[in-house]
């Protein structure tokens, strides 16, 4: 492959930087079907990193979203007097690349984010993530990779969270892949990642997340990628993971899992975009008294553009650790569809509908009006409706107005919720 731009001479790479980069080799968040062929990485640098500073190539853009009115920022039930507020989120995703002779690529992805709340000042937060990654091509075909990831965000990690919580995670990943001239890749990746949570103290809610969810995850996977045509990639991924919880209160959650995924990953540019992923997962608790999970999982989201229309399909299903003491996990399925219509070259109309269900396998203990304790298997139904109007500013940059309504129904009456949001956003995908 030809060199993409003038090569960087070795004496221009600081020795300290080389040392730090090489230290990443032996370190090991498994990214599943997200492995990127080395030649595709070089194409990404050419396509997206349009700024250059010395030997560095830079990709960066400014994001604005969720700027508007939220009717229920804590997702409280109506009998608890929901708190409303005006919100805005500003972020600046940035990626810096250093390419040495198309054989060594170091990248640093950073996403600083400011979450603003007009009246609920305690919800204001500065979130950020850092991901330095090194990939080296050896003997033309062998790709050695290593990365470190750190993330600090105040958010809702899963749909179970009604209140935002501070989540800190950090971890290492290492990988070794063999690539062929036909852009096929086969290899192994391993990772270790720690998760830490703050305890929540919000209106009418106290959750000791640190002792329920603080854990370490260790993963390993075998992965195969095959370029079918154009930039469409078929992948197959089989892996094993261990979950060790840090607080004695949650030792019963210690478990391991096996998973196998397969699917198609479509190109970033083209009539069809996104990925179709389906697989099987088995979660096995180490305490035999706890029930596990075995079944279909998936993460499918793709768009199809036909003339003035864009059609969207979404399907997700997986099991997630629960902070409820009566449950190790809950199973959530989410499916949806949407359509965009371009009545003019500068105008787009969007509608999306999503529907989901969350099932808790363990019996939940609740206290009813007369003080008696009742046992039930919690079942939640979630529905989302979103409408948007987007106007093009220049090229693929547009500004949009949006309205979103969310409702949760449940056989456990205390968690029934609804909220609506009206606001604006900035998009780079018109």
What tens digit of pLDDT does each residue of 23-57 get?
Answer: 333 333 334 457 889 998 999 999 899 899 999 99
Q: pLDDT-based confidence at 21, cuts 50/70/90? A: very low
Phi-psi region of 268 (alpha: psi -120 to 50; beta: other; left: phi over 0): alpha
At residue 325 the predicted structure's pLDDT band, cuts being 50, 70 and 90, is: confident
Region 171-196: mean pLDDT is 95
Task: Tell me whether residue 28 is exposed, middle or buried, using C-beta atoms within 10 angstroms of its C-beta: 0 to 12, 13 to 18, 19 or more.
Answer: buried
- Asked if the model's pLDDT at residue 177 lies above 70, the reply is yes
Tokens of 128: 């950020």
Look up residue 412 and give its DSSP letter.
S
The per-residue b/e assignment along 158-168, b for 16 or more CB within 10 angstroms, e otherwise, is ebbbbbbbbbe
Instruction: Give the pLDDT confidence of 109-160 residue by residue, as tens digits.
Output: 999 999 999 999 999 999 999 999 999 999 989 999 999 999 999 999 999 8
Q: What is the mean pLDDT of the chain?
A: 88
pLDDT at 220: 97
Percent of the chain past pLDDT 70, that is, above it, reads: 89
- Residue 27 carries which DSSP code? -
pLDDT computed for residue 16 by the predictor: 37
**pLDDT for residue 206:** 61
- Of the candidate ranges 3-17, 72-86, 386-400, the one whose mean pLDDT is the lowest: 3-17
Task: Over range 87-115, report the average pLDDT.
Answer: 96
Q: What is the pLDDT of residue 365?
A: 73
Predicted TM-score (pTM) of the model is 0.86
Give the closest residue to 388 by CA, choosing from 405, 364, 363: 405
pLDDT of res. 27: 36
Q: Is the dihedral of CA 48, 50, 56, 62 positive or negative?
A: negative
pLDDT value for 25: 36
Band the pLDDT of 364: cuts 50, 70, 90: confident
> Domains plus CATH for the chain?
10-427 (2.40.160)
Q: What is the pLDDT of residue 285?
A: 95
């Amino acid at each position: 492959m030809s060199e993409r731009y003038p090569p960087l001479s070795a004496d221009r790479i600081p020795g300290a930087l080389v040392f730090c980069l090489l230290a990443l080799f032996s370190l090991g968040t498994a990214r599943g079907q997200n492995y990127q062929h080395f030649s595709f990485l070089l194409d990404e640098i050419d396509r997206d990193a349009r700024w250059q500073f010395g030997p560095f190539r830079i990709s960066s853009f400014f994001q604005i979203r969720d700027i508007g009115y939220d009717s229920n920022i804590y997702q409280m039930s109506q009998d608890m007097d929901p708190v409303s507020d005006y919100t805005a989120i500003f972020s600046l995703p940035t990626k810096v690349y250093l390419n040495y002779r198309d054989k060594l690529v170091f990248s640093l992805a950073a996403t600083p984010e400011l979450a603003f709340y007009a009246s609920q000042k305690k919800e204001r937060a500065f979130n950020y993530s850092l991901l330095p990654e090194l990939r080296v091509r050896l003997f033309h075909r062998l790709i050695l990779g290593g990365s470190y990831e750190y993330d600090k965000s105040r958010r809702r990690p899963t749909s179970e969270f009604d209140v935002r919580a501070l989540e800190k995670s950090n971890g290492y990943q290492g990988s070794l892949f063999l690539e062929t001239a036909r852009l096929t890749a086969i290899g192994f990746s391993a990772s270790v990642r720690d998760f830490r949570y703050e305890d929540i103290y919000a209106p009418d809610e106290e959750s000791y997340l640190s002792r329920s969810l603080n854990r370490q995850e260790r993963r390993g996977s075998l992965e195969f990628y095959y370029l079918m045509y154009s930039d469409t990639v078929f992948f197959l991924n089989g892996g094993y993971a261990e979950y060790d919880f840090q607080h004695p209160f949650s030792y019963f959650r210690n478990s391991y899992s096996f998973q196998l995924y397969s699917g198609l990953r479509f190109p970033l540019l083209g009539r069809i975009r996104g990925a179709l992923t389906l697989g099987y997962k088995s979660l096995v608790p180490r305490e035999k008294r706890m029930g596990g999970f075995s079944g279909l999982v998936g993460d499918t989201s793709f768009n199809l553009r036909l003339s003035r229309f864009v059609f969207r399909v979404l399907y997700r299903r997986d099991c997630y650790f629960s902070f409820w003491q009566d449950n190790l996990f809950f199973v959530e399925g989410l499916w949806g569809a949407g359509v965009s219509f371009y009545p003019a070259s500068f105008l787009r109309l969007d509608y999306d509908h999503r529907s989901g269900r969350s099932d808790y396998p363990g019996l939940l203990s609740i206290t009813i009006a007369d003080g008696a304790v009742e046992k039930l298997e919690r079942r939640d139904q979630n529905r989302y409706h979103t409408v948007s109007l987007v106007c093009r500013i220049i090229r693929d940059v547009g500004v949009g107005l949006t309205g979103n309504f969310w409702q949760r129904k449940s056989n456990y009456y205390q968690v029934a919720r609804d909220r609506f949001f009206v606001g604006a956003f900035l998009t780079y995908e018109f």
